[in-house]
């Protein structure tokens, strides 16, 4: 790896021990990748979560945040003082919702430690957005900007929808990037690696969030880690639909980048998306492929007596919250069902102030932030059968919780919450 003079100075400790440890990690990481240099990043989204059992193990004190940062954000055995972030930096989703921690099964002490960690890292430049969707709450890079993001659903949105450039980073690399402003120049930072390799011919209309989720789940299975270009999309999607598409494609496969000619910013045509070369594979997405995606998610379920409904993976936008309030207005969640609605804390505040939280919670649901059941493995007491409007959550929850999980439209999930039965269908 070739380092600039400024990077060498950081490695040599001229900017303090934390940046020396960060540069050491970035050097080891870059060499592992086979990268030949680092690149400056203008934004970091990572995690400084300090309350999980992994992070808390063998700590001298539960609130020894410098040791947590050194071990888990820099991979350093030596404890260094946590410096301020040098580029705009935000915290992604984490485990504890400090307003609803009791419902999640966390103690007051755990919630207090969570708040303390937010103040500690907040004073060092970390903005506790506490969401898997930083792009919904003001963290929106420009097209072409290099950033260092974790969270597969956010990475694919940043690359494909925004046109920013990031690989799927991890806790240690984003920690190092936040205090050095650097990340290895590799993968999707390199322009020629951003062109499509696979073409997917979409032969049926894709018109709703459920449609886009199923398309994403199918495309992820088809292309795995490769870059698809979707042809045949004849109606402009909403941002939320692309959010669900990317999250699904990054769950069934490892999609980090895609193109939709005329919609996403890096390709006006399929030919431009493919960089003027022929696709390595052409896939088709018709009624049979859509049905197969539905069956992969729902086919193993044997019980329809849902008692937990989870909405908001990735976290709901404000528009989605308003729509949920509209659907729940004057209705009542079934006595044996828990309905949890997840949104970023900034949007929850907006909902609190606009009466939307009140409408949702008067129906017997709970508006939650900061977390989700897949991240913290916490579900309401007595959960046996789950319904969700998210392919990603439906993909992960059976493995994580052991419970049957239905994927359906938002309307099907609200119906399940009201009646206690999942009656959704793929059409």
Partner 1 sequence: MSETRDTIVLRGRKVVGGVTEGEAFVTRDTVSGWGGIDARTGTITETLHDKVGHSFAGKVLVFPGAKGSSGWSHYFHAARLMSTAPAAMLFTVMTTKVALGAVVTRVPAMTDFDRDPFEAIEDGDWIRVDADAGLVEISKTRNPRR
Helix axes 17-33, 171-180, angle to 10 degrees: 130
Examine residue 314 and say whether the peptide bond preceding it is cis (omega within 30 degrees of 0): yes
- Of the two residues 72 and 241, which places its CB atom closer to partner 1 in the complex? 72
Q: Using CB under 8 A, list all residues that contact partner 1.
A: 25, 28-29, 32-34, 54, 57-58, 71-72, 75, 150-152, 155, 167-173, 184, 186-187, 225, 254, 374, 396, 398-400
**CB closer to partner 1, 166 vs 264:** 166
Q: Which is nearer to partner 1, 168 or 273 (CB)?
A: 168
For residue 374, give both structure tokens.
């897949």
Q: Helix, strand, coil: what percent of the chain each, to 5?
A: 45, 15, 45
Closest CA to 243 of 350, 81, 131, 99: 131
Least separation in angstroms between residue 57's CB and partner 1 is 7
Q: How far is the C-alpha of 96 from the C-alpha of 309, rounded, in Å? A: 19
**Strand 228-231 with 198-202, pairing:** parallel
* Angstrom distance (rounded) from CA 404 to CA 384: 7
Nearest approach in angstroms of CB 378 to partner 1 is: 15
Query: Encoding tokens for residue 179?
Result: 């205090």
71/124 with CB nearer partner 1: 71
Least CB distance to partner 1 at residue 33 (A): 5
Our CB check for partner 1 shows the closer of 154 and 363 to be 154
User: Which residue, 159 or 318, has its beta carbon nearer to partner 1?
Assistant: 159
Q: How far is the CB of 55 from partner 1 (least distance, A)?
A: 9
For residues 163 and 398, which CB has a smaller minimum distance to partner 1 in the complex?
Answer: 398
Q: Minimal distance in Å, beta carbon 384 to partner 1? A: 18
Closest approach of partner 1 to the CB of residue 152, in Å: 6
Reduced to 3 states (helix: H, G, I; strand: E, B; else coil), residue 104 is helix
SS3 41: coil
The set of residues, in sequence order, having a beta carbon less than 8 Å from that of 25 and lying 6+ positions away, is 74, 75, 76, 172, 173, 176
Minimal distance, residue 416 CB to partner 1, in Å: 24
């Amino acid at each position: 790896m070739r380092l600039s003079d400024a990077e060498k100075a950081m490695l040599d400790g001229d900017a303090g021990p934390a940046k020396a440890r960060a540069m050491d990690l970035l050097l080891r990481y870059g060499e592992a990748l086979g990268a030949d240099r680092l690149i400056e990043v203008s934004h970091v989204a990572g995690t400084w979560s300090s309350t999980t059992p992994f992070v808390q193990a063998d700590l001298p004190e539960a609130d020894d945040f410098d040791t947590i940062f050194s071990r888990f954000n820099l991979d350093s055995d030596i404890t260094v003082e946590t410096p301020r972030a040098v580029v705009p930096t935000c915290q992604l989703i984490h485990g504890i919702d400090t307003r609803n921690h009791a419902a999640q099964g966390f103690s007051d002490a755990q919630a207090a430690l969570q708040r303390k960690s937010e103040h500690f890292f907040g004073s060092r430049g970390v903005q506790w957005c506490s969401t898997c969707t930083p792009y919904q709450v003001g963290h929106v890079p420009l097209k072409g900007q290099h950033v260092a993001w974790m969270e597969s659903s956010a990475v694919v949105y940043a690359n494909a929808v925004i046109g920013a450039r990031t690989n799927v980073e991890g806790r240690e690399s984003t920690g190092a990037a936040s205090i050095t402003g650097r990340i290895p120049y590799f993968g999707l930072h390199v322009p020629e690696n951003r062109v499509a390799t696979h073409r997917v011919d979409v032969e049926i209309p894709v018109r709703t969030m459920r449609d886009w989720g199923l398309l994403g789940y199918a495309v992820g299975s088809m292309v795995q880690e490769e870059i698809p270009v979707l042809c045949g999309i004849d109606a402009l999607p909403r941002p939320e639909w692309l959010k669900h598409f990317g999250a699904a494609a990054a769950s069934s496969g490892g999609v980090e980048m895609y193109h939709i000619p005329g919609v996403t910013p890096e390709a006006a045509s399929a030919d431009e998306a493919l960089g003027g070369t022929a696709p390595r594979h052409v896939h088709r997405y018709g009624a049979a492929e859509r049905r197969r995606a539905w069956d992969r998610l729902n086919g193993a379920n044997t019980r329809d007596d849902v008692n937990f409904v989870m909405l908001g993976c990735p976290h709901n936008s404000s528009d989605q919250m308003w729509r949920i309030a509209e659907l729940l207005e004057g209705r009542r969640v079934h006595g044996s069902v828990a309905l949890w609605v997840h949104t970023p804390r900034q949007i929850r505040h907006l909902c609190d102030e606009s009466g939307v939280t009140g409408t949702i919670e008067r129906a017997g649901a709970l508006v939650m932030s900061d977390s989700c059941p897949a991240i913290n493995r916490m579900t309401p007491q007595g959960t046996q059968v789950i319904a969700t409007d998210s392919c990603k959550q439906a993909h992960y929850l059976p493995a994580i919780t052991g419970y049957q999980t239905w994927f359906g439209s938002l309307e099907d999930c609200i119906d399940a919450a009201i009646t206690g039965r999942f009656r959704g269908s793929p059409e």
